[in-house]
Amino acid sequence: MKKLALLLWLPLIFACGGNSSEKPESENILENLTLAIDTVVVDPKGEIIDLGYGINRSSISSDSRTLYFFDMRKTVINEIDLDKLELIGSYPFSKEGPNAVGFNPPSIQSLANDRFLIISPLINVGTYTKNGQKEKSLKFNFKEIEGLGVDEEGLITNRITLSHDEKLMFALTRLDPSEKEVRLLIINPNAKTGKSIELPNMLQTLKLTLLLRLEEQKRIARTGENIWLRTINEALHITSSVTSDLYVYDYKKDSLRLVEFDHQLVPKKKTGDFESNVFTDEKEFEDAMEKQMNQVAFRELIWDDQRKQFFRFGYRPIKDAEGNWYKRAEVYLFVYDADLKLLGEKFLPELTNVPEFTFFKDGKLWSYVNVEDELGFAVIDFKF
């Protein structure tokens, strides 16, 4: 196990939190941040854990003790004990037949009692048992859910997640650059009823999703801005890669709250001055993409149950000599209390790229790393 101790210092810089919270005291809790990084590797017990597609379509159990790693080539969920750091089970699923999960690469959400929500974009949504049996279909067409009030057709599969009690299903409308609004879909799957709520502060995500269409070459390219839905502490949190703004939907009270931050280290959102986000000229597309990439992006919220605080990373990619954007980045850390009041922000010069697939376990931040084609994690201990 390798261990690296880092001491980071920053002058006192502080910003206040969202629109519904009071101005915090003039103290940045990250001012004297120290951190130590351990690297740990999972024992595959003689099996091959295929990391060719990374692990972003995997899921962590609610107690952060188990990683469910989805192997897309084998259509298998591997169960990894994060205390013992070893593979303890593999469970095959089907791409076709009555228990099919779908052919498009699925994402999974760990549920109670060894069950999973599995979403195959545009093809299938359902809950499944660990032994690969489909328990319940959640495959709905827009037209069959009464009350949504959106003019879309096809299956509802975009960014689907479930409430903690599985009584509600959440999704987003189509995230196409040509769309004029972003709406949250709130669905009662048993009653097949629902509603939608506009998310105006998420619209910038679509405006900054750049699309290149070359008709003669039959080629399409696009940039990768994103919106995430995540259920934390019995509320739905909606975040975007282009803005620090976020929404919290309290589904018990049926209330939506916008939270905005006055960050001091980074701009609160990305900007773009191009006339259209749809391009037919490759050079113009690349110029616009470079302007967009050279701005700070944001990641999802991460909840630390020991501290009762939210963490979030921001990062600005650095272009290398070969024109690659994702090998290095400036990395920023933001910390918020349970009510999303901003407590501190920090530039982390010793981190050369933003951590991937992050979660807290026992008060330490875990993030995925590939260690010579073995599944590993960087375990970061923040002290402040």
Position 13 scores a pLDDT of 30
What's the rounded Cα separation, in Å, for the pair 324 and 319? 5
Q: Which of 25 and 190 is assigned the larger pLDDT?
A: 190
For residue 342, the SS3 value is: strand
What's the rounded Cα separation, in Å, for the pair 177 and 379? 37
DSSP secondary structure letters along 146-206? BT------SB--TT-EE-TTSS-EEEE----TT-S--EEEEEETTTTEEEEEE-GGGHHHH
Side chain identity at 173, as an amino acid letter? T
Candidates 9, 88, 4; CA nearest to 42 is 88
Report the 10 Å Cβ neighbour count for 250: 13
Task: With a cut of 50, say whether residue 116 has pLDDT above it.
Answer: yes
Judge whether 190 and 180 are in contact, CB under 8 Å.
no
Position 9 scores a pLDDT of 29
Task: With a cut of 50, say whether residue 2 has pLDDT above it.
Answer: no
Phi/psi zone of residue 306: left (φ > 0), alpha (ψ -120 to 50 degrees), beta?
alpha
Q: Match 């001491």 to its residue by tokens.
A: 7
What's the rounded Cα separation, in Å, for the pair 128 and 125? 10
Judge whether 155 and 123 are in contact, CB under 8 Å.
yes
What's the rounded Cα separation, in Å, for the pair 28 and 265? 12
Share of the chain above pLDDT 90, in %: 82
**In this predicted model, what pLDDT tens digit does every residue of 19-45 receive, in sequence order?**
444 444 558 999 999 999 999 999 999
Confidence of residue 260 (pLDDT cuts 50, 70, 90): very high
Candidates 372, 339, 377; CA nearest to 358 is 377
Position 156 scores a pLDDT of 97
When the pLDDT of each residue in the chain is averaged and rounded to a whole number, the result is 91
**In this predicted model, what pLDDT tens digit does every residue of 124-177 receive, in sequence order?**
999 999 999 999 999 999 999 999 999 999 999 999 999 999 999 999 999 988
Element (H, E) at 238: strand 235-240
Q: Exposed, middle or buried by CB within 10 Å (0-12, 13-18, 19+), for 222?
A: middle
Side chain identity at 49, as an amino acid letter? I
Q: How far apart are the first and last CA of the chain?
A: 24
In Å, what is the CA distance from 311 to each residue of 13, 242, 305, 336? 17, 17, 11, 6
Average pLDDT on 57-71 reads 96
Confidence of residue 205 (pLDDT cuts 50, 70, 90): very high
HSE of 266, CA atoms in CB hemisphere, 13 A: 29
What's the rounded Cα separation, in Å, for the pair 173 and 157? 9
Side chain identity at 280, as an amino acid letter? T
**In this predicted model, what pLDDT tens digit does every residue of 80-100 receive, in sequence order?**
999 999 999 999 999 999 999
What's the rounded Cα separation, in Å, for the pair 252 and 249? 9
Position 3 scores a pLDDT of 37
Confidence of residue 50 (pLDDT cuts 50, 70, 90): very high
Position 242 scores a pLDDT of 96
